[in-house]
Structure 1
């Protein structure tokens, strides 16, 4: 049984998500201690618990310590079988963080996995669902992972109630990736949404982003979406289409914050990623780590984050030496797969 110290590195939920996913993929039992020890509210939160329970179902696993607040967990996997997964987080807990745990394991099933998850689609400290749909899945398709995400309803803090469904097909052809530096930005795309709010909120967010991005001199296409849910909220996700991959930036609306400022913040975040010339933004980097261990290749990230370093460490606890990381924390750098893993 592999023992993972959940206080290592950034000490957050990513250690848990990656550990359980790799346990399911490798069929290697794992014990995680000191779960989220470096967080103000340590232990399992609802979105972590529901990610574990979904993986338990997916991998026909036995689990000990799966309850909110638990600081220690044992996961003993069986085989990953094709099935439908239905998860209700029950709060505004992040749907995308649950999906980060599920996606790698779903790709290793013998048939299509369909999922439906209820919770928060656009909440703080996690990727918005539009980012996962338009940036993450785009990159994963390059290495042969095919999946789709459909947003049925938005869910914001504190009420949640968002619904996301989709599927992931078996990862049959594992294609190596070479995503180092882009040469040109082709266009900027995005989605600005307002839920249970006037339509001008979404329009003003888009306007604020557009004003900031016009300096790039490329076409800008920002779609506005107005919808209803069980609570109000707004946000904007932008992505740059390059000759390599897509880089993203996002921001959430907040009571008292002008909508134009929300759009401007998302645009500035995107511009910050683009100025490094790297193919992979700082958010996508750590998301790709569990996948490229199996596909092989090399990526350059706009910033080497603690999340990324921690994720490489977790992967190597299961798979042995896989990565070579060149660069300093907080700066652009390259991650090279020195040994492609085959199962």
Structure 2
């Protein structure tokens, strides 16, 4: 795709960092210069924060792009993309900023690389207000695989708020050069429910209590015995900065993967952490949807770039999802969407017309 500058109002819709990350990623993929104004205008403090800067600088580096206004606190950013190149890259948030949200920005870009690409990220792996790194590994990456995109996410060290220091390697060993359309409406047969619970720089019994609480609720509601993995460490062999805990509960179906996660904090009982993750998954499963609340706003990015039409049944049309659909319709020529059923903060079905975006 060619053309002049795309101008995006960063205060549109939910007005958060996801607009920035998605817009910069899309600009790199389609090769259009981008100007974003009013970045996080309604947030306090407004403007770019360190984790946002890491995301846009990472996209710019991998795409050979140029940035203007890439500073903490800036409310305007200009990005002129170049060519997306493979190789090895390394980026450090410098805080406990979410690695998962940086992966969210990078993943569409890596798919259009001219050769295999590997990115090492340092920051927060399990932090508030973002999907956990286990969610990205076990749900996000599996859904992308269904679109013909194999992405590998390896956790070298976990990082929790406020210390961060987590290390994650993301690989796209065989970039697909585009995506295939796929509908996510029917889930199919339930193959199994899985739990991964971890505790770092804390007693391993905390991870076990989280898992027991989640497993008990899954057995009670679904009549399924989950497969449980406990990640805990002896004090002398724990490589993490910590302390911190977290849990992911995910369900694998023939045609879908859905998950719910939660992280611990000081004073929050382990049983509550485990129950929160299980309840999040069970609530989304109860809607009959094939995409959970997180993937309901992440999957449309790939389906918009795909060749062909898709229909999705999402557990919740969040403000994030609604905003991303509108952003895609502005930035991606040829993409169209139509909400078939449901509304904001409710389960929804949407029809997406892919734009068949090929490598430049």
Which bracket does the TM-score occupy, shorter chain normalised? over 0.9
Q: Which is worse superposed, 167-176 or 194-203?
A: 167-176
1:309 and 2:314 equivalent? Answer: no
Matched residues in 2 for 1:129 and 1:69: separation? 27
1:217 to 223, 246, 263: 223
Runs of 4+ in 1 over 4 A off after TM superposition: none
Matched residues in 1 for 2:133 and 2:67: separation? 28
1:144–1:172 CA contact under 8 A, matched in 2: no
Structure 2 equivalent of residue 197 of structure 1? 202
Q: Structure 2: give runs of 5+ residues left out of the alignment.
A: none
The Cα offsets for residues 278-333 of structure 1, whole Å up to 9 and x where unpaired, read as 11001111111110012242211011111011111111211134222222111111
Structure 1 segment 1-343 matched on structure 2, within 5 A: 1-168=5-172, 169-172=174-177, 174-215=179-220, 216-227=222-233, 228=238, 229-295=240-306, 296=308, 297-320=310-333, 321-326=335-340, 327-343=342-358
Indicate the SS of the match to 1:177.
coil
Offset, 1:183? 4.1
Offset, 1:264? 0.8
Offset, 1:88? 0.6
Q: Which is worse superposed, 40-49 or 290-299?
A: 290-299
2:316–2:347 CA contact under 8 A, matched in 1: yes
2:119–2:169 CA contact under 8 A, matched in 1: yes
Matched residues in 2 for 1:63 and 1:174: separation? 27
1:185–1:218 CA contact under 8 A, matched in 2: no
Offset, 1:96? 0.6
1:186–1:219 CA contact under 8 A, matched in 2: no
2:181–2:354 CA contact under 8 A, matched in 1: no
Indicate the SS of the match to 1:38.
coil
2:261–2:276 CA contact under 8 A, matched in 1: yes
Indicate the SS of the match to 1:255.
coil
Offset, 1:231? 2.1
Question: What TM-score, normalized by structure 1, do the two folds share?
Answer: 0.97
Question: What TM-score, normalized by structure 2, do the two folds share?
Answer: 0.93
